[in-house]
Amino acid sequence: MISKTAKALDVQALRADFPILERVVNGKPLVYLDNAATTQKPRSVIQSLVDYYENYNANVHRGVHTLSMEATDMTEAARKRVADFINAPEPETVIWTRNATEGMNIVAHSWGRGNIEPGDEIVTTPMEHHSNLVPWQEIASERGASLRFIPLSDDGTLDLSDLDAIITERTKLLAFTHASNSLGTINPAKLLTEKAHAVGATVLVDGAQSVPHMPVDVEDIGCDFLSFSGHKMMGPTGIGALYAKRELLEGMEPFLTGGEMVLQVSYEKASWADLPWKFEAGTPNIADSIGMGAAVDYLSALGMENVREHEKRITEYALERFKEIEEVDVFGPEDPELRGGVVSFHNEDVHPHDLGTFLDQQGIAVRTGHHCTMPLMSKLGVVATARASFYVYNTEQEIDALVDGIKGALRYFGNGLA
Amino acid sequence: MDELEELYQEIVLEHNRKPRNFRKMDDPTCTSHGFNPFCGDTITLYMTLDEDVVTDVSFEAAGCAISKASASLMTQAVKGRTVDEAQATFGKFHNLVTNGANGGEDDESLGDLVVLAGVRSFPTRIKCATLSWHALRGALEGEETVSTE
Ligand SMILES: Cc1ncc(COP(=O)(O)O)c(C=O)c1O
């Protein structure tokens, strides 16, 4: 979806906002291409943390003193900005978590335990990150439900031809990743959600790789849950958010209990606080929630249409340049409209690990391994791949450095032919 | 020599391209599967023992240059040795890849294996170098599968 309003970003100028991009690694300028694992942070995010700790560090809620009120206002304002960022109807529908994984687990435990019945089916995809697979394996075995998978086409997209036979009256939940961290595939979230809702199923979208990279609108998609991580979208580690529809949150039991999430407590029993705090037991991650708010501000100022547009261009350029290296297989869809800024690749003679070490010597950071998608790797017939993943600060010159690096590695490790 | 060349010495690259004793064994005395969960590398190690002497050893593996070359070099180092000698070599080798070469007697007794000393500068790769040795120990101690974790 190219928006007519997308405008070219001044990448050189925005790079200056990221102090780490000045780093020299093994004597070479850092080329950071591991953004699907975690992203770099702009100065405004770093500064928001310093500002919190230097000026209004205090515990939140129920404090009557000034600092506590300031800290409370700041974290709640950050929640509101995160809610607006994904077009959630109200901030109370956004729960702070540690990361996308925790959000998925809240859904599995609080919603799954109360709603999945023996004989139900949980539908998911073969490209899920372990964090949106393992919790469902656990709940399925605990509740006597089963898992079903929408098949994968050869081009790395979902094969939707038989969808009506997979998403059926028996489907209780459809849980899928909006964008794949291994293949780059962007899944048709709205269409899948409509299909699931048509049979009365609930929908969980793993937004870990979509929310940071493209406009995501929960009202438009219509999903019931959306989970994502702050650190993959320029925010700090240790903070994430789970969006859920109000009716669902109201019907769910809390995952963790204790302080901050209760309304009234006697020695015998307790009643739960209002949303969203019912799901936020204990002192929350105040500083990093404020940092995630600052990250959202930074991204909003760039404009998510523009972020997506830049990544699409970079990815298109990378796919084009990869065609020069015939010995290397590239996974995932060829159409840049259908993929995010992730390029996973493989070569028979050079193991991804050796390639990763070789590139690191040139300051180029890529990820090598199974990317927490072991079942997908065996489906692709490899044990591991190397993966380059891009963000708004990556440039064509960095792609050139990567391609040169790969060619160098093929010569170095190959049979001395190339 | 830069660190990369120290890691991937010519002998390492050569053993990676043409690993020795890289084959399945039909009637091994013992065998073990090794797995490195960090990177997904796997190895199957086969051994034939005559009393306590390793008369034949071979492997099949999917892994990086370091793990393949290390396995290949290991098979050469333990063939013809006693079980105790093989275990002792593992101890010395482990010390080599974690602490580096010390130029002493141990290095000398390791023979070609010292080319893997460069691994020490790459902590994430030490397990690549020791995977085959873990499998060797697993086979000797009757463990069907071993993991580097
Ligand atoms: C698609 C996808 N889902 C979930 C996750 C888990 O994110 P986190 O580790 O921040 O919980 C990741 C992280 O790699 C991911 O790529």
Q: Domain extents for chain A?
A: 11-32+303-415, 45-300
From B39, B41, B65, residue closest to A413, measured CB to CB: B65
CB atoms within 10 A of CB A10: 9
SS3 A159: coil
Q: What angle do CA A382, A386, A390 make, to 5 degrees?
A: 135
Does the beta-carbon distance from A369 to B38 stay under 8 Å? yes
Confidence of residue B1 (pLDDT cuts 50, 70, 90): low
Domain A11-32+303-415 has CATH 3.90.1150.10: yes
The residue contributing the CA closest to ligand 1 atom 9 is A101
Whether the CB-CB separation of B69 and B125 falls below 8 Å is answered with no
Provide the token pair at B66. Answer: 């370091």
pLDDT at residue B113 above 50? yes
Q: Across A221-378, where does the E strand assignment appear? A: 225-229, 240-244, 262-265, 270-272, 329-330, 342-346, 364-365, 367-369
* CATH code reported for the domain at B2-147: 3.90.1010.10
The pLDDT tens digits for A117-169 are 999 999 999 999 999 999 999 999 999 999 999 999 999 999 999 999 999 99
Where are the alpha helices (H) located in A36-143, listed in sequence order?
43-51, 66-85, 100-106, 113-115, 134-143
Mean pLDDT, chain B, integer: 92
SS3 A256: coil
Domain A45-300 has CATH 1.10.3720.10: no
Find the chain B residues whose C-beta atoms sit closer than 8 A to any C-beta of A.
Answer: 2-4, 7-8, 13, 16-17, 38-42, 62-66, 122, 125, 128
Q: How many angstroms separate the alpha carbon of residue A221 from the centre of ligand 1?
A: 20
pLDDT at residue B41 above 50? yes
pLDDT at residue A418 above 70? no
> Does A6 touch chain B if contact means CB atoms closer than 8 Å?
no
Pocket lining: A209 vs ligand 1, CB cutoff 6 Å: yes
Span B52-79, average pLDDT: 95
Model confidence, pTM: 0.92
Rounded CA gap, A3 and A147, in Å? 37
Spans of all domains in chain B? 2-147
Whether the CB-CB separation of A369 and B40 falls below 8 Å is answered with yes
Query: Among residues A189, A225, A182, A227, which one has the least CA distance to residue A370?
Result: A182
pLDDT score recorded for residue B148:
78
ipTM of the complex: 0.85
H-run or E-run covering B90? helix B83-99
Report CA-CA distances (Å) from A397 to A210, A327, A401, B73: 25, 22, 6, 40
pLDDT score recorded for residue A2:
46
Residues of chain A with Cβ-Cβ distance to B16 below 8 Å are 413
Whether the CB-CB separation of A174 and A203 falls below 8 Å is answered with yes
**Cα dihedral value A63, A245, A45, A105, nearest 10:** 90
